Amino acid sequence: MYPVKSLADFAAAKVAGKPGALLTVEGGDFLEGRPERVAEAYADGVRSITLMHYRNNELGDIITGKPLHAKLTSAGIAVVKAMNAVGMLIDVAHASEVTALGAIEASTKPVMASHVHVRTEHLHNPRFISLNLARAVAQTGGGVLGAWPAGIGITDLNGFVDRTFEMVDHVGIDHVCLGTDMDANYKPKFDTYANLPLYVAGLLKRGMHEPEVAQLIGGNFLRVFAAVQSTR
C-alpha cells in the first residue's frame, strides 16, 4: 500500500503502481474530547475522522440513538477547530442532525458525509439524513456526500445507480462521490472495486456524462481534500 497523506500522494500511488491508503478513523471516541490528540493522530498519518460512530461521545450525538448533548459540544467545537488547523477532513456521517450542523457551522473548511442517503417520503431509515442536512453539507463550504451502497431500499447494483442519481438530484453533481462503508454495512450492493466498471457503465447508460462521472468517482473528493489541506 502507498500511504496517502497529501493530495500529491494520490498521483504518486498511481505512479508507484500500488493501492493508495488514506487513513481515517470512524468515531472520534479515541480523542476523549481532547483536541490536542488531533495533531497526534495527524502525525500518525490519519487524514480524516468521522466524529461519531456507534455511540454518543464527548463531541456530540449519533443519529441512531437517544440524544445526550443535543448539540455539538464545546469539546466537539474544539476538535473541529483542531482538525481545521492541521488540515484534516471532518466526516459527519453517523452524527445527529444538530451535531452535524454544529460541525458544519464551526468548521472553516468543507466537510464530508462519507456514507449517507437522504430520507424521502417513501424511504426512511434511522441512518438516512434529512434533505436539510444534505444541503448544508453541500452548500456550506462546498462539501461532499458519499452515496451509500447499503441494501436498504435497493436490491442490486442498478438500485445503487438509482440512489446515486437521487443524491445528485438533491444536492448537485459537484457534491456527490462514491460512498465508503462498502463491505461493512447491511447487504451492500457495491462491495468490491471490481464492480467499479459496472457502476460507471450504469451511470453512463442512464445519461451521466463522462466529466460528471469523473467528478463522482474521484474528482469531487479530491477537490474537498485539497481545500481542507490548503491550510498547510
3-state secondary structure of 48: strand
* Residue 8 pLDDT grade (very low, low, confident, very high; cuts 50, 70, 90): very high
The strand ranges marked E within 32-98 are: 46-50, 89-91
132, exposed or middle or buried, with CB in 10 Å at 0-12, 13-18, 19+? exposed
Of the candidates 26, 22, 25, the residue with the CA atom closest to the CA atom of residue 6: 22
Residue type present at position 58: E
Residue 129 has pLDDT above 90, yes or no: yes
Examine the domain organization and report whether 14 and 81 are in the same domain. yes
Please tell me the predicted confidence (pLDDT) of residue 86.
97
* Residue 184, pLDDT score: 67
Whether 131 is covered by a domain: the verdict is no
Total tally of structural domains belonging to the chain: 2
- At 151 the pLDDT is 93
Q: Do 104 and 160 lie in a common domain?
A: no
Range of the domain at 88: 1-108
CA 48, CA 30: separation in Å to the nearest integer? 13
Q: Are residues 26 and 84 in the same domain?
A: yes
What's the rounded Cα separation, in Å, for the pair 211 and 56? 40
User: Do 97 and 159 share a domain, yes or no?
Assistant: no
In a domain, 141, yes or no: no
Judge whether residue 101 has pLDDT over 70.
yes
Other CB atoms within 10 A of residue 148 CB: 29
3-class state of residue 118 by DSSP: strand
User: How large is the average pLDDT for residues 103-129?
Assistant: 95
Q: Which of 108, 137, 156 is the last residue of a domain?
A: 108
Q: Is the pLDDT of residue 88 over 80?
A: yes
Task: Specify whether 197 is located in the same domain as 94.
Answer: no
What is the pTM (predicted TM-score) of this model? 0.96
Cell of 87: 488540515
* For range 140-157, the mean pLDDT: 94
